[in-house]
Chains A and B, each alone.
Chain A
Amino acid sequence: MATDTHETVVSACLDSHGGAIGMPQLCGEWIPHQIFWLLVALAATFFVMSRIALPRIAAVLAERSGTITNDLAAAEELKNKAAEAEAAYDKALVDARAQAQQIVAEAKAEIQAELDVELAKADAQIAEKAAESEKAIAEIRDGAVKSVTDVAKATTKELVAAMGGTADAKTITAAVTARMKG
């Protein structure tokens, strides 16, 4: 142990147990050591930062802001395009409506025309049939009146004969015609 203790005293700033005498920071023996390695480390850090890290980060940041600006511009453009598309869609919709209305109107007119023609035809047919019917009715009525007159004349003649009188055809006809008028 004693020899070990003796050997470990490698610095004027260490006691025989290897502990510090005073503040190791203030030990002049180690100051060149600290400064030398500090300068090496600082140089390495500066090299890494100025040559590699900082230009790279600067490039990334610039690229990012550029990308954001571009994306915003692209978004604006797309928005305009969307607005245009919407306008075109609205216009197409309005056109389609107008066209549909036109088609409906045309179809209506066509149907109306056909309907008119058919109606006219039907009216004509109805009128024809009605005329025919009227004629037939008139004939039937005439026939009926004549029959009634004949029956009346015959009945009158018979009645007159039954009452013991005689009547000539002329007087009976006149009398029946006079009564029929009423």
Chain B
Amino acid sequence: MKLRKKRVTQVATETEAASEGGLVFHPLDQFIPTSLFGDGAVHWYTPSNLTLWLAILVLAVVGVFVLGSRGRGIVPSRIQSVGELMYGFVYKMIEDVTGKDAVKYFPYIMTLFVFVLFANYLALLPMSYSPTSMIAITAVLGFGVFIAITVLGFVKHGTAFLGLFWMKDAPGFLRPIIAIIEVISYFVRPVSLSIRLAGNITAGHVVIKVFAGFAALTLASPAAILGIVAIYGLEILVAGIQAYVFTILTCVYLKDALHPAH
């Protein structure tokens, strides 16, 4: 598949180069899943480049958190201290944002943070594949958080959880209106969570690819390469910030589920 695709893209390049004067943009092709073995269609079970990079992600997590802390050093090794730093960061975030009673959900939130963070950063490697740019993947994460938190809220507080939408401090006639707005904003949460993450990662990767396309022009190439460097630096920030934002919003939503009273 790969070989054949390369040949085909070459053909495409030639034909488009002829028609478009040297500029060829395929910024979205990087998101196409391709089968690792064989050249058939990508079914739900097919091991693809997505599978490969998710496997690398899991291996990286194992490397940092399991192999890195293998020594269990009182004085940590470098990798161990990186793991401990992330542990302390997320733990403190949960304690500060959600409260001390939320510490029992720490493994779930830590898993989310580590997954998104590692996916974002691994996606910045050249030739890699970016799982967090897939809206389906971030939607599963976002809606997973949303459903889990909603279920948790009802299990913990029963119908009192609906008090989250009913502002007792607001004047009486405003309460139904505020309730409608609150309900809408509540249901928008998973959508904004997932689109924010996928949008940020997709946009960054597409912009880098577009700049790379401009690099084919001799005159534009210095500016294009500078642009790639600049956007890459920005993407390094975005990768960390988006993981942080995803996690801290999860903590904020979890706080609503645990303490629905306004």
Nearest B residue to A30, CB-CB: B33
Chain B residues in 8 Å Cβ range of A37: 48, 50-51, 54
Cβ–Cβ contact A25 & B9, under 8 A: no
Is A136 interfacial (CB-CB < 8 Å)? no
For chain B, what secondary structure do more than half of its interface residues adopt (helix, strand, loop), or is it mixed?
helix
Cβ–Cβ contact B136 & A25, under 8 A: yes
Chain A residues in 8 Å Cβ range of B106: 54
CA distance in complex: A39, B33 (Å): 17
Is A5 interfacial (CB-CB < 8 Å)? yes
Cβ–Cβ contact B111 & A46, under 8 A: yes
Cβ–Cβ contact B33 & A33, under 8 A: yes
CA distance in complex: A175, B66 (Å): 144
Cβ–Cβ contact A45 & B136, under 8 A: no
CA distance in complex: A26, B28 (Å): 11
Which one of A35, A50, A60, A61 has the highest number of Cβ atoms from chain B below 10 Å of its Cβ?
A60
Nearest B residue to A54, CB-CB: B107
Chain B residues in 8 Å Cβ range of A67: 74
Interface size class on chain B is: 35 or more
With an 8 Å Cβ cutoff, the count of chain A residues facing the other chain is 50
For chain A, what secondary structure do more than half of its interface residues adopt (helix, strand, loop), or is it mixed?
helix
With A41-B57, A48-B61 given, name 10 new contacts (CB 8 A).
A20-B29, A34-B134, A37-B51, A38-B137, A41-B58, A49-B107, A49-B111, A52-B66, A60-B72, A60-B76
Instruction: List, sorted by A's number, 26 A–B pairs whose CB atoms are closer than 8 Å.
Output: A5-B8, A5-B11, A8-B4, A10-B42, A17-B9, A17-B11, A19-B26, A19-B29, A23-B202, A24-B32, A25-B202, A26-B135, A30-B42, A33-B45, A35-B136, A38-B54, A38-B140, A45-B114, A45-B115, A48-B58, A48-B66, A49-B65, A53-B69, A56-B66, A56-B72, A57-B65
